[in-house]
Amino acid sequence: MEILIKAGQLILSLSILIVLHEFGHYLPAKWFKTRVEKFYLFFDYKFSLFKKKIGETTWGIGWIPLGGYVKISGMIDESMDKEQMKQPPQPWEFRSKPAWQRLIIMIGGVVVNMIVGIVIYIMVLFTWGEDYLSPEHVYNGYSFDETYEAVGFVDGDNILAIDGKPLTDALGVNKEILLRDAREITVERNGAEEIILLPEDIDMKAFKSGAMQGIFPRFTAILDTVIEGYAAREAGFEDGDSVVAINGQPIRFWDEFVAAVKPQADKEIVIDFYRAGKLKSLAVTADSSGTIGVQANRPIAKMFEITHKSYSFAESIPGGLDLGVSKLSDYVSQMKFVFTEKGASSLGGFGTFGSLFSPTWDWHVFWSMTAFISIMLAFMNFLPIPALDGGHIMFLLYEMITGRKPNEKVMEYAQMFGIILLLGLLLYANGNDVYKYIFGGGN
């Protein structure tokens, strides 16, 4: 049922965004008296689920849920309608319009996606406000992955400032370092302030080591999930057991628990814990990787005291604009990780996107994710890849600068190359999802 709910949210979200994106092309095309032959949600290879002709445009829903399109007369697009392009240009065709009008038609979808993302963020802030973890509610400092310990951090350090600016969101430290190039961190250690200067390549080191959340506020060592089929479950541990010692060594925080268990590969360890207020003790043998099969996956709100900020409508406008711009900036920044071996293997398809939605129908999560996907689609469609809006924009800019139209054969071959490239990326990304699902295993 959870899979169906997530899939339903993903399909609804993409459907809304695809239709609005295509309207971004359709409306300026009509303004400039350019004929739009088809307006489709999803692709209609061979047949349609629904279609109806209104005026000169056929409106429909295809059966292949991989996007949508508007077919504009006299334009080399994904339909690859070569016969039409062999005919003399007609005044209502795309190719007969001035370059500046064609540019507005092509850029309309990207602009609409960006505006839609920002408008949704405005309404999300106005309706639900914003939750964040204030630094003043981080009472036990932070835990640090080995990547960060190697450059001077110590578990328990409390982060005060980033690049000289006071920390405002205790959960935003990793984002500041990995995506916004923060390199000067002020910490409090044993009552004294220290400044830690990070190496320039700390972002790549953290990514390659899997430490994208390598800095996190410390939280108590509670076994939130004891996984079926692993040693801890077989030994008798249950969800919610609160660990206090391992082999006689006192344990308070989750990072201490992980640090104590991992070196005990293939060894028996004795764990003391509280269950329903009673102190208990059980022995368990870790596997060859130092894993016993437990996870800490409590919601943030159950780990820490969360601060809620409400927005008036007037406040939500600049707030939503800032949020949309920062989401775009962060998304563009993370592209640097894609062009690495680990980044390429991490690419995901529809399964990855679907997993980002709530397992229950949550409108707050749904609209937040829809806003993010809209902004992501704006960026992706702007890339200068043939078959995407950015490819058409690239050729139009060339024409406007040089005063010469690109050869139609060149554009046809470029379009075909772009379609093959995008299909290849689609197959690769969704293949990664299938591989992870089959071979991902437990933690």
What is the predicted pLDDT for the residue at 433? 63
Instruction: With H, G, I as helix, E, B as strand and everything else as coil, classify residue 107.
Output: helix
Instruction: Specify the CATH number for the domain of residue 259.
Output: 2.30.42.10
pLDDT values of the chain reduced to their tens digit, one per residue, 443 residues: 778 888 889 889 999 999 999 999 999 999 999 999 999 998 888 889 999 999 999 999 999 887 888 999 988 765 555 566 667 778 889 888 999 999 999 999 999 999 999 999 999 999 999 999 999 999 999 999 999 999 999 999 999 999 999 999 999 999 999 999 999 999 999 999 999 999 999 999 999 888 888 999 999 999 999 999 999 999 999 999 999 999 999 999 999 999 999 999 999 999 999 999 999 999 999 998 889 999 988 888 888 999 999 999 999 999 999 999 999 999 999 888 887 777 766 666 666 767 778 888 899 999 999 999 999 999 999 988 887 888 889 889 988 899 888 877 777 777 777 778 777 876 766 676 665 656 554 33
pLDDT of residue 224: 92
Looking at the fold, whether 68 and 157 belong to one and the same domain comes out as: no
- Whether residue 277 is contained in a domain is answered as yes
Q: Taking each helix axis from N to C terminus, what angle separates 363-382 and 99-128, rounded to the nearest 10 degrees?
A: 160
- Confirm whether 60 is domain-assigned: yes
Report if residue 273 sits inside a domain: yes
Q: Both tokens of residue 50?
A: 């629904």
Q: What pLDDT does 350 receive?
A: 66
By C-alpha distance, which of 404, 394, 435 is closest to 106? 394
When divided into structural domains, the chain yields a total of 3
Q: Residue 416's closest CA among 81, 110, 95, 153?
A: 81
* The residue to which tokens 């591989």 are assigned: 435
Task: Find the domain containing 234 and state its range.
Answer: 222-298
Please report whether residue 79 resides in a domain: yes
CA nearest 29: which of 69, 68, 85? 69
Nearest Cα to Cα of residue 6 among 368, 438, 362:
362
- Residue 141 domain-assigned (yes or no): yes
CA-based R_g, the chain, Å: 27
Say how many residues make up the chain.
443
How far is residue 66 from each of residues 11, 44, 256, 381, 426, measured CA to CA in Å? 10, 10, 46, 14, 9
Are the C-beta atoms of 304 and 138 separated by less than 8 Å?
Answer: yes
Q: What is the CB neighbour count within 10 angstroms for residue 130? A: 15
- Structural domain ending residue among the three candidates 272, 298, 324: 298
Torsion, Cα 13 38 72 69, to 10 degrees, reads: 20
Please list the residues that pair with 184 across neighbouring strands. Answer: 197
Q: Which of 174, 197, 218 is the last residue of a domain?
A: 218
**What pLDDT is recorded for position 297?**
82
Determine the pLDDT at residue 442: 38
pLDDT tens for each residue of 157-195: 999 999 999 999 999 999 999 999 999 999 999 999 999
346 domain-assigned: no
pLDDT the model gives residue 2: 79
Question: Any long-range contacts for 176-181 (C-beta under 8 Å, 24+ apart)?
Answer: 177/202, 177/203, 177/206, 177/215, 178/203, 178/206, 178/207, 178/212, 178/334, 179/203, 179/329, 179/330, 179/333, 179/334, 180/329, 180/330, 180/333
Long-range contacts of 201-205 (CB under 8 A, 24+ apart): 202/147, 202/148, 202/151, 202/177, 203/177, 203/178, 203/179, 203/336, 204/336, 204/337, 204/340, 205/147
Tokens of 276: 């329903």
